[in-house]
Amino acid sequence: MKISIVTISFNQADYLKKCIDSVLSQHFNDLEYIVVDPGSTDGSREIIESYGDRLIKVFEKDTGAADGLNKGFSRATGDIFGFINSDDELLPEALEKVAEAFRTNTQTSVISGCGYFVDASGAFIKSITPSKFTAWRYAYGAVSVFQQGTFFRSEWFRKVGGFNTENRTCWDGELFLEMALAGASFNTMGEDLAIFRLHDASITGSGRLNELYARDADRLFRSALKRPRSERDRYIAILARLRKWLLEPSWLIRRIARLR
């Protein structure tokens, strides 16, 4: 089983080496690693070049993160795909755990593992426990998505046409939603696979795209439920979150066990 990982990098030299090292240090033989940089000017390209042929370099301009990821995955040849941001990291043995999960769950299309948030210095903030993904749950904000710990079979990426390059805020969520709507099966695992770094320059950490994110969320709601959001959906969203707590015991048990 071959795993292809794509990292997109743009002026993230402060964290990039840690990210690359976290992937290349995996004790997994059949790894293909692709790093995409559309034109960094902070020394990132020199860092990428220093790894020689240990990774595949894509130095092309793109229209944004989703487009860069598509360019990276267009070169990928693995059975399983995953992507990690240049300021995030895979944890040791993550890919061995992922490969074993897909070998065991032969009918599963997408698998999400656990991880945790860290700050700019790498200090622990809190744990992340993914929940079962469905289009309905995603529409109502009742699913916990951990992109850095999510991996999927390559045929499903190609089936949905990759990332929507117009999406500037939640291209990962839209990809998973499109897979779900196309019939992909989702599963979770309890092992820690990655860390998600929050810092002032990151989209999540800065909050600078919150308004645009709200518009994207409304668009994806319509895509999932085939209708616009209404006033009553505010109350359904509350019930949907309660339903996650009550009807997904594996998620609840993992989440409680990981609290610290």
Q: Read off the pTM.
A: 0.94
Per-residue pLDDT band at 257 (split at 50, 70, 90): confident
The pLDDT value given to residue 52:
97
The pLDDT value given to residue 185:
98
Angle at 29 between CA 185 and CA 116, to 5 degrees: 55
Please name every residue paired with 56 in a beta bridge, in sequence order, or none if there are none: 34
Please name every residue paired with 112 in a beta bridge, in sequence order, or none if there are none: 150, 188
CA distances from 251 to 128, 183, 244, 254 (A): 11, 22, 8, 5
Residue 210 in this model has a pLDDT that exceeds 90: no
Strand, helix or coil for residue 101: helix
| Pick from 99, 109, 82: nearest CA to 178 | 109
141-159, pLDDT tens digit by residue?
Answer: 999 999 999 999 999 999 9
101-125, pLDDT tens digit by residue?
Answer: 999 999 999 999 999 999 999 999 9
Q: Match 């995030």 to its residue by tokens.
A: 88
Please check whether residue 114 is in contact with residue 192, taking contact to mean a CB–CB distance below 8 angstroms.
yes
Please check whether residue 72 is in contact with residue 4, taking contact to mean a CB–CB distance below 8 angstroms.
no
Class of domain 3-258: alpha beta
- Token digits of residue 183: 């019939």
43-79, pLDDT tens digit by residue?
Answer: 999 999 999 999 999 999 999 999 999 999 999 999 9
Domain positions in the chain? 3-258
Residue 205 in this model has a pLDDT that exceeds 60: no
| Pick from 105, 55, 63, 81: nearest CA to 3 | 81
Type of residue numbered 2: K
| Pick from 73, 75, 13: nearest CA to 45 | 13
Dihedral pair phi/psi, residue 230, rounded to 5°: -120, 175
Average pLDDT over residues 172-183: 98
Q: What is the mean pLDDT of the chain?
A: 94
Distance from chain centroid for Cα 197: 13
